[in-house]
Structure 1
Amino acid sequence: MDQDWNVIFSYTRKQAIEDGVLIDVTEQANQLGFKVNTVVTDHLYGDYLTPPAGLEGEGQSVEGRLHDLLFKTLIAAKTFGARDRINFDVLFLMAPGKWATVKILAVMGPGDHGEPVLTIMLPEDD
């Protein structure tokens, strides 16, 4: 770090997870073959991974929607190769018979200790 600069404030990934700003989905991601710590933003989780009311009989669950998102992320990563940022679309059922095409951004970057980590988010969360 440059000695001429003083850090006024830092907000770690660990703190963001503790605060609920990032949701740790590493366990589910590992089941699909991901090898790094993986999180989704609370915005993506709340707006799209949590099924909207009225979809109870449509077979929708957080677990299923998360699985679909992670699988689509894995396919996009394999398609685009070794990039630190990828953009792709995911379809989410938002009401009976009504689908939304949602733009997703997945970013591979350094964690709190320089380790590779993955953050999956909406583009406006970047």
Structure 2
Amino acid sequence: MAPFGELIHSYSRAQAIEDGVLVDLSALSREAGFNMPLAVTSGVWAIIAPEPMPSCQDWRGRAWDLLTILNLAIRRAAPGADRVDFAPLFVLKTGRPPEPVPMWAHCGPGDDGAAPVITIMLPGED
């Protein structure tokens, strides 16, 4: 039995992706050099793929920028760190300069409890 008693309900990463709470960017992240599944919260997705999209941009380019900055943050992080904070620049409104958007990424076990996954979130999300 679990130390806190019987499990009443659990919500898996796969369910969160199916429900749209998380958006799976694993295919694109593999192109960017990540070797584990990667997802973003719906809040981060709203920044990557806003409606309407600022002119001369697309979600893939914005996602690629996000992954590049995350990769740099991971390289600067302490060895063994499971969390990194970073702030990629995004044009949030057409005609405005890019603004830093604070985010954080967590690396931890996925649904199987063993294989690592990365989740990118906004401050206050978990």
Q: Tell whether the structures are fold-level matches, with TM greater than 0.5.
A: yes
Is 1:108–1:117's contact at 8 Å kept on the other side of the alignment?
A: yes
For structure 2, the residue ranges without an aligned partner over 5 or more in a row are none
Name the residue aligned to 2:102.
103
Richer in helix (by share)? 1
Q: Which amino acid aligns with 1:83?
A: A
Mind listing any 5+ residue stretches in structure 1 that lack a counterpart? none
Match of 1:91 in 2: 89
Q: How many residues are paired up?
A: 123
Poorly superposed stretches of 4+, deviation over 6 Å: none
Map residues 52-67 of structure 1 onto 2, 5 A cutoff.
Answer: 52-53=51-52, 55-56=54-55, 59-67=56-64
Query: Quick check: which one's strand share is greater?
Result: 1
TM-score, length basis structure 2: 0.90
What is the match of residue 28 of structure 1?
28
Question: Aligned in 2, Cα 1:4/1:65: closer, same or farther, shift over 3 Å?
Answer: closer
Percent identity for Structure 1 against Structure 2: 37
2:22 maps to amino acid: L
> 3-state DSSP class of the match of 1:120?
strand
Residue 79 of structure 1, aligned match among 72, 76, 83: 76
TM-score, normalization: structure 1? 0.90
What value does the CA root-mean-square deviation take over the aligned residues? 1.6
Q: Report if aligned partners of 1:51, 1:61 keep a CA contact under 8 Å in 2.
A: no
